[in-house]
Structure 1
Amino acid sequence: MKTALPLPSYAALSAEDEAALTALYTRGTPANTLRAWERDLAYIAAWKAAVFGKPLIWPEDDRVALRFVLDHTLDLTDRPGSAQDAAMELIELGLRLSLACPAPATLDRRIASWRAFHRMKNLASPFEAPLLKQARAKGRRAAARPRQAKSPRPIDRKLLETLLASCDNSLRGLRDRAILMLGFGSGGRRRSEITSLYRDDIGTEDYATKGLIWLRLLETKTTGKSDAPRLPLKGRAARAVIGWIEAAQITQGPLFRSISQSDRALPRKLAPDAIRVILRHRLRLAGLPEDYATPHGLRAGFLTQAALDGAPLAAAMKLSLHRSAIQAQRYYADVEISENPATDLLG
């Protein structure tokens, strides 16, 4: 095998070109993804410092990458040694929760972040090596655990109606009703997708004639600004959103806003975590525990209800914007088989 020769100086990127490439890469990446990368990189850097007493290098050494995989596919509770010592240090720093083996998905995400920074620097990642791929595959099987739902239960139509019944005609009630109905009715929107909406993202050209409004999602987990989807919202959900807009007199700026104690709409947008606070408040008013469901329950509930109503998976995915049919299919598979519409084909 021939050894690759170093590039001549005239063929290498200048520092300015590398900076421009990094800036371009960053601008084309959703803000939530960037934040996740940064958190993961902080964890990885702290782990390497704890294990090797050295900072990260680019590209990273294969042995460091392999050690990272091995240390994160073991339960370190009863395994004294350097790996456990490093994990304890990370726990003290607040970067790790326990000595238990991290979920395979957590390891995969951190490796993906590490690889992303290599790509950003136009460098080869050590995780492409066959040995690393094999170690990851074996570690994933060894640490496999039952899939945990992101919400204790889906917010299906029945639960949604219970929550909506707690919403009065105050501005807070109108806002919360619009948030819940938009989040469910437009395909199960994520928290950040709801709070990122602006008044200009709501198209009302078909509302008077068809009772239909259009949502423009400039940035989601699976789409970017260049291919921003427009999704329909019909019936009660559309009326709830229009009712909120008219009552709060929103002509521009953020669609969903904070409400003052005097029930006045403030100009600032909601933080993504505000959806969790709103949902907990509505659950409490409905006489349910605050942890009965989480915001992801809107997304799970949309797909679950679609399955219960016999909607084709492909049709539901056009609204949920799932890229993977396998992932979306899980919600259909979770529906109690006795409730499956296919069991009533003969009436």
Structure 2
Amino acid sequence: MKPPVPHLPASPPALSDSDRDALHDLYVRGTPENTLRAYERDLVYISAWKALRSIHGRFEAALSWPEKEDVALAFVLDHSRDLRDAPAEDPARQVAEGLIGQGLRKAATCPAPSTLDRRIASWRAFHRMKNLASPFDSPMIKQARAKGRRANATKRAPKSAHPITRRVLEAMLETCFGTMRDCRDRAILVLGFASGGRRRSELTKLMRDDVDMREFESKGLVWISLVETKTTIKGETPRLVLKGRAAQTLVHWIETAEIKDGPLFRPVSKADRVLQRGLSSDAVYQIVQRRLKLAGYPDGFASPHGLRSGFLTQAALDGAPIQAAMRLSLHRSMGQAQQYYDDVDIAENPAADLLD
């Protein structure tokens, strides 16, 4: 059995040692890796914030379980305003400067509401792990958070400056010629787009066993099994389908690289030899940037997330029903997917041409 993960709060003391270890192991196995990493970062940040707040305020340095409401309220207030113009003796500003010095905070400006929401969600999750009520559920704190969210609302920055639509993707694919590196890059780009806009982590975690080619010869279909995604859990992620050119491109990579098992996408040496280990997420970023540059696009034009936003944008441009697109993109929120459709729909809305 795996030892308890150190960044998860301790279990209720009433449990035996073996039950406590089993509960921690259950949390680890039942929680996506990205969420565990977020928990770890947030717990470090929250602990550092309270330790610094204790120096400049009336709080104890260590986290309490359950946490007191005045601590939770101070956390919300400290992160709901721009502290650059606050007096030098303001405790919130002093704590912010301390966090900046520790590399835990970038600036004294007001954090994005989504960042504060995530940290609060983590803090609440820590309370649930210990079977305790969270102070963030109190009416006063919930109201303060709602007011702060409205006061600091800003337009959400896209994860990719531009979507990688079909036109952009075609230009990138034209830079892939006949080497093994070209063959791999073509397969990554096509799979990343055509399977619904896959995230970097989803692409790099794919194994050869996750690709089912039994229907390729008869129907031209390739089935992809993702173990889990950001919005789905292990065992409940639906299979995704590739067809036509996308299926052919992936099969060509698998057969040309002679991949029988192990990671689906791998590094290629300078001698154009396929290595055995899997690709890193950063490698996918470098591949996208390189192909964009070779296709003539400027630096920073798009990130790997552009494959995801590009898939939905192209689906909207082609008139595909949003429900059909979401079955491949695996978006959990209709509102998030709808944003891409709204950008396209409003440009095509006849009411926008009234003056002309």
- TM-score range (shorter-chain normalised) is over 0.9
Deviation of 1:273 after TM superposition, in Å, equals: 2.1
| Cα distance in 2 for residues equivalent to 1:341 and 1:169 | 46
Query: What does the per-residue CA deviation read over 1:241-296, in whole Å, with 9 as the maximum and x for residues that have no partner?
Result: 11111111100000001111111111111112221111111111112223100111
Matches of 2:351 and 2:21, distance apart in 1? 56
- Please report how far the alpha carbon of residue 329 of structure 1 lies from its aligned counterpart in structure 2 after TM superposition: 0.4
Equivalent-residue separation in structure 2 for 1:195 and 1:169 (angstroms): 22
CA distance in 1, matches of 2:54, 2:177: 59
Mapping for residues 218-257 of structure 1, pairs under 5 Å: 218-257=227-266
8 Å Cα contact 1:222-1:323 kept in structure 2: yes
Matching residue's letter, 2:202: E
Matched, 1:216 2:216: no
Q: Which amino acid aligns with 2:96?
A: A
Aligned partners of 1:28 and 1:75: how far apart in 2?
Answer: 37
- Give ranges in structure 2 of 5+ residues lacking alignment: 1-12, 56-60
Secondary structure of the structure 1 residue equivalent to 2:297: coil
Aligned residue for 2:242, secondary structure, equals strand
Structure 2 SS opposite 1:96: coil
Provide Cα deviations, 1:121-153, integer angstroms capped at 9, x if missing partner: 222211111111111101100110112111101
Tell me by how many angstroms 1:158 deviates. 0.5
Task: Write out aligned runs for 1:171-320 (5 A).
Answer: 171-320=180-329
Q: Which residue of 1 aligns with 2:44?
A: 42
Q: How does 1:83-162 map to 2 (within 5 A)?
A: 83-162=92-171
The whole-number CA distance in structure 2 between the counterparts of 1:304 and 1:286 is 20
TM-score, normalising length: structure 1: 0.92
Q: Indicate yes or no: 2:67 matched with 1:60.
A: yes
The answer to whether structure 1 residue 14 and structure 2 residue 16 are counterparts is: yes
Q: Deviations over 1:14-52 (max 9, x none)?
A: 343233222212210011110011111111111111111
Q: 1:340 to 1:314 in 2, by over 3 A?
A: farther
How far apart, in 2, do the equivalents of 1:227 and 1:342 lie?
42
Residue of structure 2 equivalent to 1:331: 340
For the aligned residues, what is the CA RMSD?
1.7
Quote the residue 1:7 is aligned against: none
Query: Separation in 1 of the partners of 2:174 and 2:266?
Result: 21
Structure 1, residues 286-326: CA drift from partner, whole Å, max 9, x if none? 12223100111111000000000000011111001111111
Counterparts of 2:28 and 2:142, CA distance in 1: 27
Whole-angstrom distance in 1 between the partners of 2:325 and 2:236: 19
Against the structure 1 CA distance between its residues 175 and 340, is the aligned structure 2 distance closer, same or farther, given a 3 Å change threshold?
farther
Cα distance in 1 between the residues matched to 2:221 and 2:142: 49
Q: Which residue of 1 aligns with 2:79?
A: 72
Q: How many Å separate the matches in 2 of 1:132 and 1:222?
A: 28
Percentage identity across paired residues of the two chains:
62
State the secondary structure of the residue aligned to 2:281: coil
Q: In structure 2, how many angstroms separate the alpha carbons of the residues matched to 1:279 and 1:46?
A: 37
8 Å contact kept, 1:186–1:320: yes
Alignment-derived partner of residue 26 in structure 2: 24
Question: Deviation digits for residues 75-111 of structure 1, max 9, x if unmatched?
Answer: 0000021111111111111111111100100100111
Equivalent residues of 1:47, 1:90 under 8 A apart: yes
Matched pairs, number: 333
Given that residues 309 and 341 in structure 1 are in contact (C-alpha distance below 8 angstroms), is that contact kept between their aligned partners in structure 2? Answer: no
Report the Cα offset of residue 224 of structure 1: 1.6
Q: Specify the code of the residue in structure 1 equivalent to 2:37.
A: R
Aligned residue for 2:62, secondary structure, equals: coil
> 1:52-84, CA deviations, whole angstroms, 9 ceiling, x for partnerless residues?
140222221111111000000000000021111
SS at match of 2:235: helix
State the alpha-carbon separation in 2 of the partners of residues 157 and 308 from structure 1.
10
Report if aligned partners of 1:163, 1:282 keep a CA contact under 8 Å in 2. yes
Structure-2-length-normalised TM-score: 0.90
Distance 1:55 1:259 in 2: 49
Report the residue type matching 1:29 in the other structure: T
Cα distance in 2 between the residues matched to 1:239 and 1:225: 28
Matched residue type, 1:52: S
